[in-house]
Amino acid sequence: MHQPPIVLECPECGEKYLISRESNTPSENATIFSDGFFIDELNWRIPKIIGCVTCELGFFPEKGKIIEKPGWNEFHEKWSQIKKAEPPTAGSLALELRARKNIDPMDELALRLEFWFSGNHTENGRMLLTKNEKFSTFWNESLMKLENLLSPNIEDQRLVKAEINRQLKRFDQCISLLSGMNHPMGKSIQQKAENQISNLFTFN
């Protein structure tokens, strides 16, 4: 049976949020996108950084404090009104990247992934990409930095690295990265690259 969410507390201000108790892996009913983002009603995607409504900066889920792992009865009685964890807005993520100095490479990777998702999957991010040239330039620079952070020797990262190259219209690099990889998503990304299609697509 599907389990109720976990109650997580911001380490800075104590604001509480709900995150999925399940592993951060999409179910068979999820809508999966070529960049790895997914929408799943049963198993929410846990943001790589959670936007806090109180703090100036967000916080990484692993640094939050678990307050409660309630059963369904307790959840409905005490916690159902708590806000579901969401990533910061696209603009806030840009500020996060500018504000955080000497950032750990894994934290930087998480931030840049979430920033990429914000441009691909949020109305606010898409609007900024379309109407704000400085934001668009910064987003594309961040995407290139994200690609450099990813290792071609780790399969999951190699897929993301290839997809970034495809979205940046670097189709030859994308195809080269996927050479010899026997992965359904990789095959779909490679096919799009061979046809010089750079748009985001769903994989279902």
Q: In the block, which residue shows the tokens 């389990």?
A: 3
Number of domains forming the structure of the chain = 2
pLDDT tens digits along 71-104: 999 999 999 999 999 999 999 999 989 888 888 9
pLDDT tens digits along 115-146: 999 999 999 999 999 999 999 999 999 999 99
Contacts (Cβ under 8 Å, ≥6 apart) of 196: 169, 171
User: Do 189 and 106 fall into the same domain?
Assistant: yes
Q: Would residue 31 count as lying in a domain? A: yes
Taking the CB of residue 158, how many other CB atoms lie within 10 A of it?
Answer: 18
Length of the chain (residues): 204
Q: Would residue 84 count as lying in a domain? A: no
Taking the CB of residue 150, how many other CB atoms lie within 10 A of it?
Answer: 21
User: Do 115 and 164 fall into the same domain?
Assistant: yes
| Residue 180 DSSP symbol | T
Contacts (Cβ under 8 Å, ≥6 apart) of 83: 16, 17, 18, 53
Q: Would residue 199 count as lying in a domain? A: no
Its domain, for residue 185, covers 90-194
Hey, what are 48's tokens?
A: 């790589």
Pairwise CA distance, residues 12 & 70, whole Å? 23
Q: What is the pLDDT of residue 1?
A: 47
Q: Would residue 200 count as lying in a domain? A: no
b/e map 20-43, b = 16+ CB within 10 Å: bebeeebeeebeebbbbbbebeeb
User: Do 168 and 127 fall into the same domain?
Assistant: yes
Pairwise CA distance, residues 93 & 121, whole Å? 14
Q: What is the pLDDT of residue 116?
A: 97
pLDDT tens digits along 17-53: 999 987 777 888 899 999 999 998 878 899 999 999 8
**Residue 12 scores a pLDDT above 80:** yes
Hey, what are 99's tokens?
A: 């504000």
Higher confidence at residue 184 or residue 204? 184
